């Protein structure tokens, strides 16, 4: 049997793969318990298959068998300590681990690399995602229809914000952790510059600067990005370092009902309290001046409430 590579979705064992394929069919038909049972059989044949253990854990979680799910996710971490599958996030949601302040960058990168080909259709058509348009409208309504000479689009993805904002933008730079997302953005021809960057790292390591100047942007945008971070300190420090003295920082968060802090949700996205957002802005020398509570997407048939904010360097 061939050893599975880090992101290999097959086990290298034909019988195990066949059982895993049947498990997918059972899960898709609404029987996660039977899917988990079949995945257990597959894992007996391919015990070194990290992706298979993650699939087993996911089916067991959906079936309500949390102990089986926890055991499977723990095994994922034994095989993949770098946690490219986000097993620690799953364990935190299941109450078996403390909530991490940040997800593993390798998990976020892999998530969006895998999602890139279907991202626009899935997000816009299926989840009724409208954050780029709503954030662009909030900026226009609160900045006197100003034309922004240099816009930096953080977590640019496939370029949905740039498409919504191009009438108000001079040049637009785009940065993302996912190379495949950047390739999709490049194909749209909306960006003067594209690059790989990690907002969870401080400015000297984030990839946003290098030869590029600090304080070069009169708009920094982060549409639907902060929910893939927990603690916002590094992201906001990067934004503050990018902003010119009269610049605008425009971003969205999933809104937590908590009065402080942030929380990891079963979706494996983070929701932030308004208080945490304001504290991070103040800590990084910024102050909010416009906000809007709105539905930012739908998930499993339910609306997800978010917060759109505009901030600027405090005088």
**Average pLDDT value over all residues in the chain:** 91
Mean pLDDT along residues 200-217? 90
Q: Cα separation of 180 and 142, whole Å?
A: 34
CATH architecture of 113-313: 3-Layer(aba) Sandwich (3.40)
Model confidence pTM above 0.85: yes
By three-state DSSP, how is residue 19 classified?
Answer: helix
pLDDT over threshold 50, residue 4: no
Lowest mean pLDDT among 47-51, 171-175, 264-268, 295-299: 295-299
**Cβ burial, residue 313 (10 Å; 0-12/13-18/19+):** middle
Q: Give CATH 3.40.50.150 domain extents, the chain.
A: 113-313
Q: Look at the alpha carbons of 233, 239, 241, 245 in this order and tell me if their dihedral is positive or negative.
A: negative
241: Cβ contacts below 8 Å, ≥ 6 apart = 203, 208, 209, 214, 215
Identify the band that residue 144 occupies on the pLDDT scale cut at 50, 70 and 90: confident
pLDDT over threshold 80, residue 1: no
pLDDT of the residue at 126: 64
Tens-digit pLDDT profile for residues 107-131: 999 999 988 887 767 666 666 778 9
Is 56 within 8 Å of 11 (Cβ atoms)? no
Q: Cα separation of 40 and 59, whole Å?
A: 10
Q: Cα separation of 208 and 267, whole Å?
A: 28
Tens-digit pLDDT profile for residues 299-315: 878 899 999 999 999 97
CB atoms within 10 A of CB 204: 9
Tens-digit pLDDT profile for residues 227-254: 999 999 999 999 999 999 999 999 999 9
pLDDT of the residue at 7: 53
pLDDT of the residue at 119: 74
pLDDT of the residue at 10: 83
Q: Give CATH 1.25.40.10 domain extents, the chain.
A: 14-98
Q: Which CATH class is domain 14-98?
A: mainly alpha
């Amino acid at each position: 049997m061939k050893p599975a590579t880090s992101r290999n979705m097959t086990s290298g064992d034909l019988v195990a793969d066949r059982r895993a394929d049947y498990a997918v069919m059972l899960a898709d038909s609404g029987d996660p318990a039977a899917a988990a049972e079949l995945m257990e059989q597959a894992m007996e044949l391919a015990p070194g298959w990290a992706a298979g253990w993650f699939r087993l854990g996911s089916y067991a979680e959906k079936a309500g068998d949390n102990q089986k799910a926890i055991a499977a996710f723990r095994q994922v971490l034994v095989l993949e300590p770098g946690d490219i599958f986000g097993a620690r996030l799953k364990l935190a949601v299941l109450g078996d681990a403390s909530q991490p302040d940040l997800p593993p960058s390798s998990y976020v990168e892999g998530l969006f690399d895998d999602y890139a080909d279907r991202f626009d259709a899935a997000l816009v058509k299926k989840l009724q995602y409208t954050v780029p348009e709503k954030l662009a409208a909030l900026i226009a309504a609160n900045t006197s229809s100003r034309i922004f000479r240099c816009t930096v689009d953080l977590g640019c993805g496939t370029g949905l914000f740039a498409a919504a904002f191009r009438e108000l933008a001079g040049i637009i730079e785009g940065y993302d952790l996912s190379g495949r997302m950047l390739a999709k953005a490049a194909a749209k021809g909306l960006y003067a510059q594209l690059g790989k960057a990690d907002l969870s790292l401080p400015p000297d390591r984030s990839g946003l600067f290098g030869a590029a100047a600090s304080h070069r942007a009169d708009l920094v945008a982060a549409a639907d990005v902060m929910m893939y971070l927990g603690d916002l300190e590094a992201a906001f420090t990067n934004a503050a370092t990018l902003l010119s003295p009269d610049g605008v920082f425009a971003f969205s968060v999933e809104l937590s009902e908590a009065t402080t802090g942030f929380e990891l949700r079963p979706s494996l996205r983070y929701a932030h309290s308004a208080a945490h957002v304001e504290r991070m802005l103040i800590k990084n020398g910024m102050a909010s001046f416009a906000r809007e509570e709105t539905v930012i997407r739908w998930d499993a048939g339910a609306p997800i409430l978010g917060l759109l904010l505009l901030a600027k360097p405090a005088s």
